Amino acid sequence: MLIKKYFPKFVNKLIDVGENIKINTLIGGHGKEAVVFLHGHPENYLTWRFIAPKLTSKYSVIITDLRGYGYSTKPQGLPDHSNYSKRVMADDVIKVMAKLGFTKFHLVGHDRGARVCHRLIMDHPEKAISCTLMDILPTYDMYHDTNQEFATKYWHWFFYIQNNGLPEKLLNGNADFFIRFNLQLKINPKTKNNFSEDVLQEYIKCFSDPMTIHGVSEDYRASATIDMKYDIADRTKIIKTPLLVLWGANGVVGNLWNVLANWKKRAENVAGFGIKECGHLVPEEQPEIVLETLSTFLEKYKTKN
């Protein structure tokens, strides 16, 4: 792990959330208010290396690996994939934060982590002070608006959901190739130097675990099945939590959808913009812009003591 190098003032703990699941958690800062960071696919806590350490002077900063990813527990998926639903992953976050003494917090998520944030503010809006979502629209919208370009560029959405262990078998032993292929596919070429070899090796190491590949596959299988049921049931709900939505101006999501307009249909308080010279891996490609924008947003919605 590269915690000492990139998060030197953070403490690392495995926090038990029940049912033999332990969530890898980094804890830094001493603020009364907490900010939780949730990474995306196929990464881990390192996603936030440029951003989270710079917020510790004002906030308690919590970074977790999602279940199935990084150094968190990777359970065998249930037949209905429910133990990898975003509802269950959101409950992991709530339990981690409760054990750390926080009943309310700011949420920041990228990609899969942002989908967990979305479910958390739908199920438990009282827990979220604010929520920042990076490079996503609701899962329901993205599946139902699928066209040839989306299916080509987000091929993994349709690959991972295959059953009978297909993605697990095909990806096992190919972590190095897949991580590098995924990086080249999704980032703006001008930002490639932000992905140093030691970081890539850490992503490769975690993805080399067959149970990580299984956990990732179950995450996507859940999104296409049980999560979809939850999302359909909530289509008429209006999100009350203040939202900041950011996306890569050169990425698939930003090119195929009007991100801000679509989130404004789902929430009453939304701000955001597409970041130039940026693909999908927003917090790693353009961390300075993300940090500046996020800091302003967090300050605006900081709880008044």
| The pLDDT of residue 252 | 94
Helices assigned H by DSSP within 127-196:
139-144, 148-153, 155-159, 166-171, 175-186
- At 226-272, the pLDDT tens digits run 999 999 999 999 999 999 999 999 999 999 999 999 999 999 999 99
| The pLDDT of residue 184 | 87
Q: For the whole model, what pTM was predicted?
A: 0.97
Q: What is the mean pLDDT of residues 12-24?
A: 98
Evaluate if residue 30 carries a pLDDT over 90. Answer: no
Q: pLDDT band at 304, cuts 50/70/90?
A: low
Beta strand segments in the chain, E: 11-18, 21-28, 34-38, 60-64, 105-110, 128-134, 243-248, 270-275
Q: pLDDT band at 1, cuts 50/70/90?
A: confident
How many Cβ atoms are within 10 Å of 285's Cβ, its own excluded?
Answer: 25
Q: Tokens 């990777």: give the residue.
A: 74
Residues carrying an active site annotation: 111, 280
Q: 205 or 303: which carries more pLDDT confidence?
A: 205
Which tokens belong to 241?
A: 């939590």
Alpha-carbon radius of gyration of the chain? 18
| The pLDDT of residue 88 | 98
Q: What is the DSSP letter of 304?
A: P
Backbone angles phi and psi of 37, in degrees to 5: -110, 130
